[in-house]
A and B are shown apart, each in its own frame.
Chain A
Protein backbone atom coordinates (compact mmCIF):
# COMPACT_ATOMS: atom_id res chain seq x y z
CA UNK A 1 0.00 0.00 0.00
CA UNK A 2 2.84 2.39 0.71
CA UNK A 3 5.11 1.96 -2.26
CA UNK A 4 5.32 5.56 -3.33
CA UNK A 5 8.25 6.88 -5.30
CA UNK A 6 10.97 8.29 -3.09
CA UNK A 7 10.51 11.84 -4.35
CA UNK A 8 6.91 11.84 -3.10
CA UNK A 9 7.98 10.70 0.30
CA UNK A 10 10.00 13.89 0.65
CA UNK A 11 6.89 16.04 0.47
CA UNK A 12 6.64 16.17 4.24
CA UNK A 13 3.36 16.08 6.05
CA UNK A 14 1.07 16.58 3.04
CA UNK A 15 1.68 12.93 2.14
CA UNK A 16 0.72 11.88 5.64
CA UNK A 17 -2.42 14.03 5.41
CA UNK A 18 -3.30 12.58 1.97
CA UNK A 19 -2.97 9.05 3.33
CA UNK A 20 -5.22 9.88 6.28
CA UNK A 21 -7.82 11.19 3.84
CA UNK A 22 -7.68 8.00 1.77
CA UNK A 23 -8.02 5.92 4.93
CA UNK A 24 -11.06 7.83 6.23
CA UNK A 25 -12.70 7.84 2.78
CA UNK A 26 -12.10 4.10 2.31
CA UNK A 27 -13.66 3.32 5.69
CA UNK A 28 -16.67 5.52 4.91
CA UNK A 29 -17.12 3.88 1.51
CA UNK A 30 -17.01 0.43 3.03
CA UNK A 31 -19.53 1.32 5.72
CA UNK A 32 -21.93 2.71 3.10
CA UNK A 33 -21.44 -0.06 0.52
CA UNK A 34 -20.47 2.38 -2.22
CA UNK A 35 -18.76 1.35 -5.46
CA UNK A 36 -16.87 4.43 -6.49
CA UNK A 37 -15.81 7.78 -5.03
CA UNK A 38 -16.58 10.70 -7.34
CA UNK A 39 -15.44 13.56 -5.16
CA UNK A 40 -14.22 14.46 -1.69
CA UNK A 41 -15.15 17.78 -0.09
CA UNK A 42 -12.45 19.10 2.20
CA UNK A 43 -12.33 22.13 4.46
CA UNK A 44 -8.84 23.52 4.87
CA UNK A 45 -8.12 26.64 6.87
CA UNK A 46 -5.73 29.22 5.49
CA UNK A 47 -3.55 28.71 8.57
CA UNK A 48 -3.79 24.91 8.74
CA UNK A 49 -0.21 24.55 7.55
CA UNK A 50 -1.23 22.68 4.41
CA UNK A 51 0.03 23.54 0.93
CA UNK A 52 -3.00 22.78 -1.23
CA UNK A 53 -0.97 22.07 -4.38
CA UNK A 54 1.23 19.61 -2.48
CA UNK A 55 -1.79 17.94 -0.95
CA UNK A 56 -3.45 17.49 -4.35
CA UNK A 57 -0.20 16.10 -5.76
CA UNK A 58 0.21 13.69 -2.84
CA UNK A 59 -3.44 12.65 -2.96
CA UNK A 60 -3.07 11.50 -6.57
CA UNK A 61 -0.31 9.15 -5.42
CA UNK A 62 -1.94 8.12 -2.15
CA UNK A 63 -5.26 7.10 -3.75
CA UNK A 64 -3.69 4.86 -6.42
CA UNK A 65 -4.99 1.31 -6.15
CA UNK A 66 -7.61 2.28 -3.54
CA UNK A 67 -11.36 2.84 -3.83
CA UNK A 68 -10.61 6.58 -3.81
CA UNK A 69 -8.55 6.45 -7.01
CA UNK A 70 -9.78 9.02 -9.51
CA UNK A 71 -11.80 11.01 -6.98
CA UNK A 72 -11.78 14.78 -7.36
CA UNK A 73 -10.67 16.82 -4.34
CA UNK A 74 -12.92 19.84 -3.80
CA UNK A 75 -11.13 22.13 -1.40
CA UNK A 76 -13.05 24.81 0.43
CA UNK A 77 -10.47 27.16 1.85
CA UNK A 78 -11.61 28.67 5.15
CA UNK A 79 -10.60 32.29 5.73
CA UNK A 80 -8.67 32.96 8.90
CA UNK A 81 -10.29 35.07 11.62
CA UNK A 82 -8.62 36.68 14.61
CA UNK A 83 -10.18 37.90 17.85
CA UNK A 84 -8.67 40.76 19.82
CA UNK A 85 -8.42 39.91 23.52
CA UNK A 86 -8.52 43.61 24.43
CA UNK A 87 -11.66 44.75 22.56
CA UNK A 88 -13.30 41.48 21.36
CA UNK A 89 -13.14 42.65 17.73
CA UNK A 90 -13.28 39.76 15.26
CA UNK A 91 -11.55 40.44 11.97
CA UNK A 92 -9.94 38.66 8.99
CA UNK A 93 -6.22 37.92 9.36
CA UNK A 94 -3.76 36.72 6.79
CA UNK A 95 -1.03 35.40 9.05
CA UNK A 96 -0.44 34.35 12.62
CA UNK A 97 0.93 37.76 13.52
CA UNK A 98 -2.02 40.09 13.43
CA UNK A 99 -2.77 43.54 14.79
CA UNK A 100 -6.35 44.34 15.79
CA UNK A 101 -8.03 46.32 13.03
CA UNK A 102 -10.04 48.32 15.58
CA UNK A 103 -7.80 49.08 18.58
CA UNK A 104 -4.34 48.18 17.28
CA UNK A 105 -3.81 45.60 20.03
CA UNK A 106 -1.38 42.75 19.42
CA UNK A 107 -3.03 40.19 21.73
CA UNK A 108 -4.96 38.40 19.01
CA UNK A 109 -6.11 34.78 19.09
CA UNK A 110 -6.81 32.88 15.88
CA UNK A 111 -10.42 31.66 16.13
CA UNK A 112 -10.90 30.32 12.60
CA UNK A 113 -8.61 29.15 9.82
CA UNK A 114 -6.91 26.03 11.22
CA UNK A 115 -9.57 23.59 9.93
CA UNK A 116 -8.47 20.36 8.29
CA UNK A 117 -11.56 18.20 7.82
CA UNK A 118 -13.41 15.97 5.39
CA UNK A 119 -16.94 17.36 5.13
CA UNK A 120 -18.50 14.84 2.77
CA UNK A 121 -17.88 12.49 -0.12
CA UNK A 122 -19.89 11.89 -3.27
CA UNK A 123 -20.11 8.23 -4.25
CA UNK A 124 -21.80 5.85 -6.66
Chain B
Protein backbone atom coordinates (compact mmCIF):
# COMPACT_ATOMS: atom_id res chain seq x y z
CA UNK B 1 0.00 0.00 0.00
CA UNK B 2 1.40 3.32 -1.01
CA UNK B 3 1.00 5.93 1.69
CA UNK B 4 1.41 9.05 -0.36
CA UNK B 5 -1.64 11.21 -0.51
CA UNK B 6 -4.35 11.45 -3.12
CA UNK B 7 -3.01 8.24 -4.34
CA UNK B 8 -4.27 6.96 -7.64
CA UNK B 9 -0.65 6.34 -8.42
CA UNK B 10 2.00 3.76 -7.69
CA UNK B 11 4.70 4.80 -5.18
CA UNK B 12 7.27 5.26 -7.90
CA UNK B 13 5.13 8.12 -9.26
CA UNK B 14 6.81 10.31 -6.61
CA UNK B 15 10.15 11.38 -8.05
CA UNK B 16 13.26 12.90 -6.50
CA UNK B 17 15.47 14.96 -8.77
CA UNK B 18 18.33 17.37 -8.78
CA UNK B 19 18.10 20.02 -11.50
CA UNK B 20 19.35 18.49 -14.77
CA UNK B 21 18.80 14.91 -13.62
CA UNK B 22 16.43 12.35 -15.09
CA UNK B 23 13.63 11.41 -12.73
CA UNK B 24 14.22 8.27 -10.75
CA UNK B 25 11.50 7.02 -8.51
CA UNK B 26 12.09 5.23 -5.26
CA UNK B 27 9.94 2.30 -4.41
CA UNK B 28 8.49 2.05 -0.94
CA UNK B 29 9.27 -1.09 1.01
CA UNK B 30 6.54 -3.66 0.78
CA UNK B 31 7.50 -5.97 3.57
CA UNK B 32 4.35 -7.79 4.52
CA UNK B 33 5.09 -11.36 5.58
CA UNK B 34 2.18 -13.68 4.99
CA UNK B 35 1.44 -16.30 7.57
CA UNK B 36 -1.40 -18.76 7.60
CA UNK B 37 -1.87 -19.65 11.24
CA UNK B 38 -4.94 -21.06 12.82
CA UNK B 39 -8.17 -19.57 11.48
CA UNK B 40 -10.66 -18.51 14.11
CA UNK B 41 -14.27 -17.97 13.33
CA UNK B 42 -15.77 -16.33 16.40
CA UNK B 43 -16.18 -12.59 16.35
CA UNK B 44 -13.79 -10.73 18.64
CA UNK B 45 -12.55 -7.22 19.25
CA UNK B 46 -8.86 -6.40 19.04
CA UNK B 47 -7.54 -3.26 20.71
CA UNK B 48 -5.49 -1.25 18.22
CA UNK B 49 -5.01 2.14 19.94
CA UNK B 50 -2.90 3.49 17.10
CA UNK B 51 -2.70 6.98 15.69
CA UNK B 52 -3.77 6.82 12.05
CA UNK B 53 -0.66 8.81 11.12
CA UNK B 54 1.63 6.70 13.34
CA UNK B 55 3.82 5.61 10.43
CA UNK B 56 4.37 9.18 9.23
CA UNK B 57 4.94 10.39 12.79
CA UNK B 58 7.54 7.67 13.44
CA UNK B 59 9.53 8.59 10.33
CA UNK B 60 9.19 12.28 11.25
CA UNK B 61 10.65 11.50 14.68
CA UNK B 62 13.56 9.71 13.00
CA UNK B 63 14.11 12.74 10.75
CA UNK B 64 14.02 15.00 13.81
CA UNK B 65 16.61 12.82 15.55
CA UNK B 66 18.87 13.07 12.51
CA UNK B 67 18.51 16.87 12.46
CA UNK B 68 19.22 17.13 16.20
CA UNK B 69 22.28 14.88 15.99
CA UNK B 70 23.78 16.91 13.15
CA UNK B 71 22.62 20.26 14.54
CA UNK B 72 20.62 21.05 11.40
CA UNK B 73 17.94 23.75 11.64
CA UNK B 74 14.94 22.65 9.55
CA UNK B 75 12.09 24.97 8.61
CA UNK B 76 9.01 23.74 6.74
CA UNK B 77 7.44 26.49 4.57
CA UNK B 78 3.72 26.11 3.89
CA UNK B 79 1.23 28.37 2.11
CA UNK B 80 -1.29 28.51 -0.69
CA UNK B 81 0.24 28.51 -4.20
CA UNK B 82 1.71 31.85 -5.27
CA UNK B 83 2.33 33.42 -1.86
CA UNK B 84 6.03 33.86 -2.65
CA UNK B 85 7.67 30.98 -0.77
CA UNK B 86 10.31 30.37 -3.43
CA UNK B 87 11.22 34.06 -3.73
CA UNK B 88 11.48 34.32 0.06
CA UNK B 89 13.80 31.30 0.05
CA UNK B 90 15.95 32.71 -2.77
CA UNK B 91 16.43 36.01 -0.91
CA UNK B 92 17.00 34.28 2.43
CA UNK B 93 19.65 31.99 0.94
CA UNK B 94 21.40 34.93 -0.73
CA UNK B 95 21.63 36.76 2.60
CA UNK B 96 22.75 33.75 4.67
CA UNK B 97 25.41 32.31 2.37
CA UNK B 98 28.31 31.72 2.30
CA UNK B 99 28.51 32.03 6.10
CA UNK B 100 25.79 29.41 6.55
CA UNK B 101 25.49 26.12 4.68
CA UNK B 102 21.96 25.78 3.32
CA UNK B 103 20.13 23.03 1.41
CA UNK B 104 16.55 22.94 0.15
CA UNK B 105 13.89 20.29 -0.48
CA UNK B 106 11.32 21.56 -2.96
CA UNK B 107 7.86 20.00 -3.11
CA UNK B 108 5.59 20.45 -6.11
CA UNK B 109 3.22 18.21 -7.99
CA UNK B 110 5.13 18.67 -11.24
CA UNK B 111 8.18 20.39 -12.79
CA UNK B 112 11.73 21.27 -11.73
CA UNK B 113 11.11 25.01 -11.94
CA UNK B 114 11.45 25.86 -8.26
CA UNK B 115 14.51 23.63 -7.89
CA UNK B 116 16.16 25.39 -10.82
CA UNK B 117 15.53 28.77 -9.19
CA UNK B 118 17.05 27.54 -5.92
CA UNK B 119 20.00 25.94 -7.70
CA UNK B 120 20.80 29.31 -9.24
CA UNK B 121 21.50 30.59 -5.70
CA UNK B 122 24.17 27.88 -5.34
CA UNK B 123 22.35 25.91 -2.64
CA UNK B 124 22.06 22.11 -3.07
CA UNK B 125 18.43 21.23 -3.83
CA UNK B 126 16.21 18.17 -4.33
CA UNK B 127 12.91 18.51 -6.13
CA UNK B 128 10.24 16.11 -4.90
CA UNK B 129 7.44 15.81 -7.47
CA UNK B 130 4.46 14.34 -5.67
CA UNK B 131 2.48 13.58 -8.84
CA UNK B 132 -1.13 13.87 -7.72
CA UNK B 133 -0.17 14.10 -4.03
CA UNK B 134 -1.13 17.29 -2.23
CA UNK B 135 1.58 17.43 0.45
CA UNK B 136 5.05 16.21 1.41
CA UNK B 137 5.23 13.42 3.97
CA UNK B 138 8.00 12.38 6.35
CA UNK B 139 9.13 9.48 4.17
CA UNK B 140 9.69 11.80 1.19
CA UNK B 141 11.92 13.95 3.41
CA UNK B 142 13.75 10.85 4.67
CA UNK B 143 14.49 9.74 1.10
CA UNK B 144 15.54 13.26 0.09
CA UNK B 145 17.98 13.38 3.02
CA UNK B 146 19.80 10.37 1.57
CA UNK B 147 20.26 12.32 -1.67
CA UNK B 148 21.37 15.56 -0.03
CA UNK B 149 24.01 14.35 2.51
CA UNK B 150 23.68 17.48 4.65
CA UNK B 151 26.76 18.73 6.52
CA UNK B 152 26.66 19.26 10.30
CA UNK B 153 25.60 22.68 11.59
CA UNK B 154 23.66 23.55 8.45
CA UNK B 155 20.18 24.80 7.56
CA UNK B 156 17.51 22.86 5.65
CA UNK B 157 14.56 24.68 4.12
CA UNK B 158 11.62 22.55 3.01
CA UNK B 159 9.18 24.19 0.61
CA UNK B 160 5.97 22.20 0.90
CA UNK B 161 3.42 21.76 -1.88
CA UNK B 162 1.36 24.97 -2.21
CA UNK B 163 -1.77 24.00 -0.30
CA UNK B 164 -3.22 25.49 2.89
CA UNK B 165 -5.01 22.31 3.98
CA UNK B 166 -3.24 18.95 3.77
CA UNK B 167 0.37 19.78 4.73
CA UNK B 168 -0.93 20.84 8.17
CA UNK B 169 -1.50 17.20 9.12
CA UNK B 170 1.88 15.78 8.16
CA UNK B 171 4.82 16.26 10.50
CA UNK B 172 8.08 16.13 8.54
CA UNK B 173 10.45 16.34 11.52
CA UNK B 174 11.00 20.08 11.11
CA UNK B 175 11.85 22.41 13.99
CA UNK B 176 9.13 24.85 12.96
CA UNK B 177 6.46 25.38 10.35
CA UNK B 178 6.50 28.79 8.67
CA UNK B 179 3.19 29.76 7.07
CA UNK B 180 3.48 32.42 4.36
CA UNK B 181 0.51 34.61 3.42
CA UNK B 182 0.68 37.34 0.80
CA UNK B 183 -1.25 40.59 0.86
CA UNK B 184 -2.85 39.73 -2.48
CA UNK B 185 -4.82 37.07 -0.61
CA UNK B 186 -7.68 37.76 1.78
CA UNK B 187 -6.72 38.86 5.30
CA UNK B 188 -9.27 36.36 6.63
CA UNK B 189 -7.34 33.32 5.37
CA UNK B 190 -6.19 32.40 8.90
CA UNK B 191 -9.81 31.88 9.86
CA UNK B 192 -10.78 30.17 6.61
CA UNK B 193 -7.89 27.71 6.90
CA UNK B 194 -7.35 27.52 10.67
CA UNK B 195 -5.64 24.12 10.74
CA UNK B 196 -2.59 25.43 8.95
CA UNK B 197 -2.32 28.56 11.09
CA UNK B 198 -2.79 26.46 14.20
CA UNK B 199 -0.02 24.07 13.11
CA UNK B 200 2.41 26.91 12.26
CA UNK B 201 4.92 28.55 14.59
CA UNK B 202 5.77 31.53 12.42
CA UNK B 203 3.67 33.63 10.04
CA UNK B 204 5.37 35.62 7.30
CA UNK B 205 3.16 38.25 5.66
CA UNK B 206 4.71 38.71 2.21
CA UNK B 207 4.41 41.18 -0.70
CA UNK B 208 3.97 44.17 1.64
CA UNK B 209 5.20 46.44 -1.19
CA UNK B 210 1.78 45.87 -2.79
CA UNK B 211 -0.19 47.11 0.24
CA UNK B 212 -0.97 50.52 -1.35
CA UNK B 213 -2.74 48.73 -4.21
CA UNK B 214 -4.80 46.09 -2.40
CA UNK B 215 -7.48 45.95 0.29
CA UNK B 216 -5.50 43.98 2.82
CA UNK B 217 -5.60 45.00 6.47
CA UNK B 218 -2.37 43.72 8.05
CA UNK B 219 -3.59 44.32 11.61
CA UNK B 220 -6.80 42.40 10.94
CA UNK B 221 -4.82 39.55 9.42
CA UNK B 222 -2.60 39.38 12.51
CA UNK B 223 -5.64 39.50 14.76
CA UNK B 224 -7.39 36.69 12.84
CA UNK B 225 -4.25 34.56 12.94
CA UNK B 226 -3.72 35.18 16.68
CA UNK B 227 -7.30 34.19 17.41
CA UNK B 228 -6.52 30.81 15.84
CA UNK B 229 -3.03 30.48 17.35
CA UNK B 230 -1.93 32.97 19.99
CA UNK B 231 1.63 31.56 19.93
CA UNK B 232 2.32 32.81 16.37
CA UNK B 233 5.26 35.13 15.74
CA UNK B 234 4.98 37.48 12.73
CA UNK B 235 7.27 38.94 10.11
CA UNK B 236 6.16 41.43 7.47
CA UNK B 237 8.32 41.34 4.37
CA UNK B 238 8.51 42.12 0.70
CA UNK B 239 10.71 39.31 -0.57
CA UNK B 240 11.07 40.94 -3.99
CA UNK B 241 11.87 44.48 -2.76
CA UNK B 242 13.70 43.50 0.43
CA UNK B 243 11.53 45.37 2.96
CA UNK B 244 11.52 43.68 6.36
CA UNK B 245 13.96 40.97 5.33
CA UNK B 246 16.60 42.04 7.84
CA UNK B 247 14.38 41.21 10.82
CA UNK B 248 13.53 37.86 9.28
CA UNK B 249 17.17 37.03 8.54
CA UNK B 250 18.28 38.08 12.03
CA UNK B 251 15.69 35.76 13.51
CA UNK B 252 16.90 32.79 11.41
CA UNK B 253 20.50 33.55 12.44
CA UNK B 254 19.47 33.63 16.09
CA UNK B 255 17.78 30.26 15.71
CA UNK B 256 20.92 28.78 14.19
CA UNK B 257 23.14 30.02 17.00
CA UNK B 258 20.73 29.05 19.79
Residue positions of A touching B, CB distance < 8 A:
1-6, 8-13, 15-17, 19-28, 30, 32-35, 38, 42, 47, 49, 95-97, 106-108, 110, 116-124
Contact of B8 among A5, A27, A28, A116 (CB under 8 A): A5
Q: Mark B216-239, 1 if CB is under 8 A from A, else 0.
A: 000000001011111000000000
Residue positions of B touching A, CB distance < 8 A:
1-11, 32-35, 37-56, 132-135, 165-166, 168-170, 191, 194-195, 197-198, 224, 226-230
Cβ of A16 and Cβ of B6 under 8 Å apart?
A: yes
**B238 → A minimal CB distance (Å):** 28
Q: Is the interface of B mostly helix, strand, loop or mixed?
A: loop
What would 13 A/B residue contacts be, using CB atoms closer than 8 Å?
A1-B1, A2-B9, A9-B9, A13-B135, A15-B6, A21-B52, A96-B229, A97-B227, A117-B49, A120-B48, A121-B46, A122-B46, A124-B44
Cβ of A24 and Cβ of B52 under 8 Å apart?
A: yes
Q: Is the interface of A mostly helix, strand, loop or mixed?
A: mixed
A13 to B165, CA, bound (A): 8
Nearest chain A residue, comparing its CB with the CB of B55 = A20
Cβ of B43 and Cβ of A122 under 8 Å apart?
A: yes
Given contacts A110-B198, A123-B44, A124-B42, contact A3 B50 (CB under 8 A): no
**B36 → A minimal CB distance (Å):** 8
Given contacts A4-B7, A119-B48, A124-B43, contact A30 B194 (CB under 8 A): no
Cβ of A9 and Cβ of B7 under 8 Å apart?
A: yes
Given contacts A13-B5, A96-B194, contact A118 B165 (CB under 8 A): no
Residues of B within 8 A of A97 (CB): 191, 194, 224, 227-228
Contact of B40 among A25, A38, A42, A124 (CB under 8 A): A124
Given contacts A1-B2, A49-B165, A96-B229, contact A15 B46 (CB under 8 A): no
Closest 4 CB pairs of A and B: A16-B5, A9-B8, A97-B227, A96-B194
Residues of B within 8 A of A42 (CB): 52
Residues of A within 8 A of B53 (CB): 17, 20, 116
A121 to B10, CA, bound (A): 28
A19-B3, A23-B1, A124-B43 given; 8 more Cβ-contact pairs under 8 Å = A2-B8, A2-B11, A6-B8, A12-B5, A34-B40, A47-B198, A49-B195, A120-B47
Cβ of A19 and Cβ of B7 under 8 Å apart?
A: yes
Cβ of A19 and Cβ of B2 under 8 Å apart?
A: yes
